Chains A and B, each alone.
Chain A
Amino acid sequence: MVMGYSLGELSSIFAMQAFAGLILFSVFLLMALGLAIIFGQMGVINMAHGEFMILGAYMTYLTSHGFQTYLPGAYAIYFFVAMAIAFIASGAIGLAVEWLLIRHLYVRPLDTLLATWGLSLIMQQAFRSIFGAREVGVQLPDWMMGALSVTDVIEVQINGLFVMALTLIITGIVALLLFRSTWGLQVRAVVTNRTMSGAVGIDTRRIDRLTFGLGCGIAGIAGSAFTMIGSTGPTAGQLYIVDTFLVVVFGGAQSLLGTVASALTISQSQSTLEFFLSGSMAKVLTLLIVIGLLMLRPQGLFALKVRR
């Protein structure tokens, strides 16, 4: 007996919470992926990454509304369309931001931190003006609603499984791009030696822009997944940026696999902790882990450069 639960009950709780954490895992993984490739490529810590996610969430919300109003018959597939729109919107704004703001600040890394933080405030205000301060949510299509029963006590949400599968596919695509595409070749060269990359003919600034756009676009997709676990509001992205840093720091093992493992561990411990403690206590514990890790291995901080 632990805390008034029998062992059998406890293992069921853990299993249920683990499955409940699948979407959280997806959000963390997609967010961390974007943050890490941007940092690895150009040394910029994008403080507005959470807002790019929320932009994707708003796009998902708008798409679901569009479908409900104009194409109710096709509502079953709205999520796929929403993901594409979220990716394109966040990616396009990312490209624009890189061109207008970030590229002027590369020589001063601290300034990019401040500038992207300022950008996050601007984006929050823009969301408030455009979509209102009230939080909005989406309705799941019928086929994503149910749950599969694994045993008589353990159930798995279908939307969780679905979003996780999509996330793993997207992670696989990013890995393929990094290791098989010309873009990926150039990213890996620039990460290894920026000056020499320019001297062999790689337009490093163009690669920076594309990478920033791609990272923000992936954050947009994270936003689509996010609509399934939380309601979308102007400042909702702020809550996720700290967790995402934690994922990147924890996974700082120079590999995509490290990021996957880290996102899994953290989303699972968070959702399990949340069952026993209040949500804010779980957050505090998470933050304590961040600080502890930073003190233990500052050199591991953002060692992740998305290469083997």
Chain B
Amino acid sequence: MFDVRNLNVAYGQSDVLHGIDLTVAPGEIVAVIGRNGMGKSTLMKSLIGVIPTKSGHVRVDGAVLTALPSHARVAYGLAYVPQGRQIFGTMTVKENIQTGLVVTGESKVPDEIYSLFPILWEFEKRRAGNLSGGQQQQLAIARALASNPKILLLDEPTEGVQPSVIKDIAKVLKEIRQLRNLCIVVCEQVLSFVLDVADRILVMENGRIVHSDSRDQVDEAAIARFLAV
């Protein structure tokens, strides 16, 4: 289980996240939705540990990860798909997936990953930088899955991706949840995608969670109001 308590994060003097609480059960998909600049990426980055946490706790199955560097958090079961994908452009598709395999000690890409993303198998030997936006997004997800995570963090996976591929990504996320029973936290601005995948929807505004709905009783109008500028 994934548990975040009273998380505070700042860039130098300026506080960005104020006391975030978040609990995700295995097999659950939680979406954090909010406009630009509300602190979604900051949340993701502090969870994976590429920026430091000011105070609060991040726990995976009881283990406290808050003080660990990012690679150690990956070893504890966190995996991260960043905004803008950040694949290794000069390396091949296969090598990109292998970077995620490093913590497992394996070097052969599991068949399961290629069956989730057949296009990556087809383009295995291509340079990742030459893939389209949607393909790069799939690669970033595959790379994260390679480390065999318990918790998958995704930051705006629909950004710069065509609508048809967005549907694929939603399908894959639900498939992965089925296959591996993992916790998924996805940050988004696109409400339709969130309504499609999420079991629970949290709204973030100015570094705080200001609204929370389970999907069964979602108040679409209220959430849309938060997203309107």
Q: Is A185's CB under 8 angstroms from B98's CB?
A: yes
Chain A nearest CB from B154 CB (Å) reads 13
Stretch of B54-62, B89-97, B211-219 contacting A (4+ beta carbons < 8 Å)? B89-97
Assembled-state Cα–Cα distance A242/B47 (Å)? 45
0 or 1 for each of A176-204: is its CB under 8 Å from B? (1 = yes)? 00000010011011001101111111111
Partner of B71 from the list A182, A188, A192, A201 (CB cut-off 8 Å) is A201
Q: Is B86's CB under 8 angstroms from A193's CB?
A: yes
Stretch of B11-19, B23-31, B100-108 contacting A (4+ beta carbons < 8 Å)? B100-108
Q: Is A202's CB under 8 angstroms from B80's CB?
A: no
Residues in B with CB closer than 8 Å to A182 are 98, 102, 107
A128 at interface, CB cutoff 8 A = no
Q: Is A201's CB under 8 angstroms from B147's CB?
A: yes
Of A186, A195, A201, most buried by chain B (CB within 10 Å of CB) is A201
Interface size on B, residues (CB 8 A): 27
Question: How many A-B contacts are there with CB distance less than 8 Å?
Answer: 68
Q: Is A200's CB under 8 angstroms from B74's CB?
A: yes
Residues in A with CB closer than 8 Å to B50 are 195, 198-199
A307 at interface, CB cutoff 8 A = yes
Chain A nearest CB from B146 CB (Å) reads 8
Residues in B with CB closer than 8 Å to A201 are 71, 74-75, 99-100, 102-103, 147
Assembled-state Cα–Cα distance A262/B74 (Å)? 41
Chain A nearest CB from B20 CB (Å) reads 19
Asked whether A199 and B48 contact (CB < 8 A) given A186-B99, A186-B102, the answer is yes
Chain B nearest CB from A305 CB (Å) reads 9
Chain A nearest CB from B59 CB (Å) reads 19
Q: Is A185's CB under 8 angstroms from B95's CB?
A: yes
0 or 1 for each of A201-212: is its CB under 8 Å from B? (1 = yes)? 111110000000
0 or 1 for each of B71-95: is its CB under 8 Å from A? (1 = yes)? 1101100011010001011110001
Q: Is A200's CB under 8 angstroms from B69's CB?
A: no
Assembled-state Cα–Cα distance A201/B145 (Å)? 11
Q: Smallest CB-CB separation from B86: which chain A residue?
A: A196
Q: Is A192's CB under 8 angstroms from B89's CB?
A: yes
Residues in A with CB closer than 8 Å to B49 are 198-199
B136 at interface, CB cutoff 8 A = no
Q: Is B82's CB under 8 angstroms from A199's CB?
A: yes
Residues in A with CB closer than 8 Å to B107 are 182
Assembled-state Cα–Cα distance A197/B99 (Å)? 8
Q: Is A198's CB under 8 angstroms from B98's CB?
A: no
Q: Is A307's CB under 8 angstroms from B90's CB?
A: yes
Assembled-state Cα–Cα distance A203/B107 (Å)? 16
Chain B nearest CB from A209 CB (Å) reads 14
Interface of A toward B, CB cutoff 8 Å: 182, 185-186, 188-189, 192-193, 195-205, 307-308
Interface of B toward A, CB cutoff 8 Å: 48-50, 69-72, 74-75, 79-80, 82, 86, 88-91, 95, 98-100, 102-103, 107, 143-144, 147
Closest 9 CB pairs of A and B: A201-B74, A201-B103, A198-B70, A196-B86, A192-B88, A203-B71, A199-B70, A189-B99, A199-B80
List 9 A–B pairs whose Cβ atoms lie within 8 Å, in order of A's numbering: A185-B95, A188-B91, A192-B91, A193-B88, A195-B70, A196-B86, A199-B50, A200-B147, A203-B71
* Given A198-B49, A308-B90, 7 more pairs with CB closer than 8 A: A182-B98, A192-B89, A198-B69, A200-B74, A200-B80, A200-B102, A201-B147
